Chain A
Amino acid sequence: MNVLLDNSDIFLNGFVNTVKLFLIAGVLCLILGTILAMMRVSPVPIFRAFGTVYVTVVRNTPLTLVFFFFAFAFPLLEIVGELRDYYFFAAVIALTLYTSAFVCEVVRSGINTVPVGQIEASRALGLTFGQTLSTIVLPQATRSVVPPMVSTMVALLKNTTIAAGFSVAEAGAIRDILSEKGYNVTVGMLWVALFFIILVVPLTLVQRSLEKRWSVAR
């Protein structure tokens, strides 16, 4: 208990950063992922190809490697100037680029659950591709997409811990500070693990109940 109480500011700071990373990257990857999914079903072949290549490559790259690139290699290119919080910025970019490939697949499988008849009907009414997608398909897809999307977001939340290995002060980085101060690292990490359980388990339960309730409908 002392480990937690003596270092409450470190734990608090770590978790604020975790939640910040999670929220920023979460919103960005939802946007980018949806755009990618729209590209993958679009009538323009080159967009479809780009979406497919992006998803295939990114899904098969270890996230640690993506972090590695943005933490060490990307600064060498000098595209962005000196940033005060460069590592935080890099972590957001890495998590967003990585997770949006998974979001894209979830959205696309959601689009697949919308009955063809509805799409044909909307086309018969003269709606364009964009109108069909935005007013008929995506709103309905959202329903079947929420449960798997929650598990993608849980994965994103857990993945924020990798940022700790790349100098971002979030929950995973608590280890460094504790071992420097000579506290028991095991106990510290058990507290971190407990916090993650508190964050993740309710999300999983929500997802399970949504899945049960919504998969019966239609």
Chain B
Amino acid sequence: MSASALFDLPGPKARMRYRLYAVLGTLLIVGVIAFVIYKFLDAGQFDGKLWEWIEYEKIQTDLVAALGKTLTAFAVSAVLSLLFGAVFAAGRLSDHAIFRVPSMVIVELFRAIPAVIMMFMFHYGLKFGDPFNSVVAALSLYNGSVLAEVFRAGILSLPRGQSEAAYAVGMRKTQVMVLVLLPQALRAMLPAIISQLVVVLKDTALGFLITYEELLYYARNLGGVAQFGRPLIPVTIVVAAMYITMCLLMAWLANYLAKRERKSKKHLDTGDDDGPLPNKPVLMDSTASTM
């Protein structure tokens, strides 16, 4: 459904009314933003002095180093959680209960425990040493189990005929999975996988809580330096912009792939289109936790 089905093309009267709403709404929104900016100014957060730090080469390189630590944690966790997801998705799809049941229990378990709790347990309880280890372990286990569900849903969403045909030509189960199902499922699931990787990137910021020296941790330290007038708000703005840019780029990639997939002739109708008008209700994919 296009949103425009909800209202008529406005006539002259309605146009006037919409214009009035628009003006009032803009005033309200601009008012709130202006108030916040005024408060920033009032608290002296836009003084030149508070932005001086950005000119120091040492700080620039340190900021890049902190960004590097964030990205390292992200990259390692992403690879490990993809592996974990693939292994446990295969386990959950297994014909043998001896693999299926433990995989299900493990996946449900790690999906239910908050990543922060796991991080605290690994770092302070089990003493994994360097905070990096705990960050990566917690993120991989949590996102890996979410990805396992994504993979599983991807395989299950393929039409039955695909595997039936493969069995009919005499393929073994492994062959069916690797040669027929997996390539198609990956295609369809790629956007969901990338969205989950955005979550991994966002969650690396949790490392801040167990003193992993990533971007946010560095921001906290830099924000407290008296020499620069404790520029907490400027630093927060810069770091937020960095996170948002990185995540937006990935979200954009996911969107692009999803669009390309939808246009492609090889597209299988698995009911996840937001095409013209679906007859069945399209539920959001609840297997992927996008937070």
User: What 0/1 readout, one digit per residue, does chain B (19-42) give for beta carbons within 8 Å of chain A?
Assistant: 001100110010000001001101
The CA-CA distance from A76 to B280 in the complex, in Å, is: 51
A116 touches B1 (CB 8 A): yes
Instruction: Take A50-B29, A78-B43, A186-B125 as given contacts and tell me if A129 and B7 are in contact as well, using a CB distance cutoff of 8 Å.
Output: yes
Q: Which residues of chain A are near B45, meaning CB under 8 Å?
A: 76-77
Q: Which residues of chain B are near A57, meaning CB under 8 Å?
A: 244
B6 touches A179 (CB 8 A): no
The CA-CA distance from A77 to B44 in the complex, in Å, is: 9
Kindly state whether residue B251 has any CB partner on chain A within 8 Å.
yes
Kindly state whether residue B93 has any CB partner on chain A within 8 Å.
no
Q: Which residues of chain B are near A139, meaning CB under 8 Å?
A: none
Which residues of chain A from 121 to 165 have any CB-CB distance to chain B below 8 Å in the complex?
A: 123, 129, 132-133, 137, 143-144, 147-148, 150-152, 154-156, 158-159, 161-162, 164-165
A114 touches B232 (CB 8 A): no
Whole-angstrom distance between the Cβ of B277 and the nearest chain A Cβ: 6
Which residues of chain A from 1 to 27 have any CB-CB distance to chain B below 8 Å in the complex?
A: none
User: What 0/1 readout, one digit per residue, does chain B (205-247) give for beta carbons within 8 Å of chain A?
Assistant: 1101100000010011001000000001100100110011001
The CA-CA distance from A89 to B198 in the complex, in Å, is: 28
Instruction: Take A65-B239, A116-B5, A186-B125 as given contacts and tell me if A162 and B18 are in contact as well, using a CB distance cutoff of 8 Å.
Output: no
Instruction: Take A44-B18, A185-B124 as given contacts and tell me if A148 and B283 are in contact as well, using a CB distance cutoff of 8 Å.
Output: yes
Kindly state whether residue A106 has any CB partner on chain B within 8 Å.
yes
A161 touches B114 (CB 8 A): yes
B121 touches A186 (CB 8 A): yes
The CA-CA distance from A114 to B3 in the complex, in Å, is: 11
| Contact count band on B | 35 or more
Kindly state whether residue B116 has any CB partner on chain A within 8 Å.
yes
Of A77, A116, A150, A156, the most chain B CB neighbours within 10 A belong to A77
The CA-CA distance from A161 to B209 in the complex, in Å, is: 11
A46 touches B220 (CB 8 A): no
The CA-CA distance from A115 to B282 in the complex, in Å, is: 11
A196 touches B114 (CB 8 A): yes
Whole-angstrom distance between the Cβ of A208 and the nearest chain B Cβ: 8
Kindly state whether residue A119 has any CB partner on chain B within 8 Å.
yes
Mostly, the B contact residues are helix
Whole-angstrom distance between the Cβ of A189 and the nearest chain B Cβ: 4
The CA-CA distance from A95 to B171 in the complex, in Å, is: 51
Kindly state whether residue A62 has any CB partner on chain B within 8 Å.
yes
Kindly state whether residue A172 has any CB partner on chain B within 8 Å.
yes
Whole-angstrom distance between the Cβ of A196 and the nearest chain B Cβ: 6
Kindly state whether residue A181 has any CB partner on chain B within 8 Å.
no
Closest residue of A by beta carbon distance from B235: A73
A72 touches B216 (CB 8 A): no
A76 touches B233 (CB 8 A): yes
Whole-angstrom distance between the Cβ of B219 and the nearest chain A Cβ: 7
Q: Give the residue of B1, B108, B125, B205 whose beta carbon is less than 8 angstroms from that of A201.
A: B108
Q: Which residues of chain B are near A137, meaning CB under 8 Å?
A: 6
Whole-angstrom distance between the Cβ of B38 and the nearest chain A Cβ: 10
Kindly state whether residue A177 has any CB partner on chain B within 8 Å.
no
Which residues of chain B from 269 to 284 have any CB-CB distance to chain A below 8 Å in the complex?
A: 274, 277-278, 280-284
Whole-angstrom distance between the Cβ of B255 and the nearest chain A Cβ: 11
Whole-angstrom distance between the Cβ of B119 and the nearest chain A Cβ: 9
A162 touches B209 (CB 8 A): yes
The CA-CA distance from A144 to B223 in the complex, in Å, is: 45
Closest residue of A by beta carbon distance from B15: A43
Q: Which residues of chain A are near B8, meaning CB under 8 Å?
A: 123
Q: Which residues of chain A are near B223, meaning CB under 8 Å?
A: 72-73
| For the complex of A and B, 5 pairs with smallest distance between CB atoms | A186-B125, A165-B209, A60-B247, A62-B205, A189-B121
Cross-chain pairs A/B with CB under 8 angstroms, 19 sampled: A44-B18, A44-B21, A46-B26, A59-B247, A61-B244, A77-B42, A78-B39, A78-B42, A115-B1, A119-B1, A147-B286, A150-B286, A154-B289, A165-B206, A193-B118, A196-B113, A196-B117, A211-B283, A215-B281
Listed in ascending order, the chain A residues whose CB lies under 8 Å from chain B are 40-41, 43-48, 50, 56-57, 59-65, 68-69, 72-73, 76-79, 99, 102, 105-106, 109, 111-116, 119-120, 123, 129, 132-133, 137, 143-144, 147-148, 150-152, 154-156, 158-159, 161-162, 164-165, 171-172, 175, 179, 184-190, 192-193, 196-197, 200-201, 204, 207, 211, 214-215, 217-218
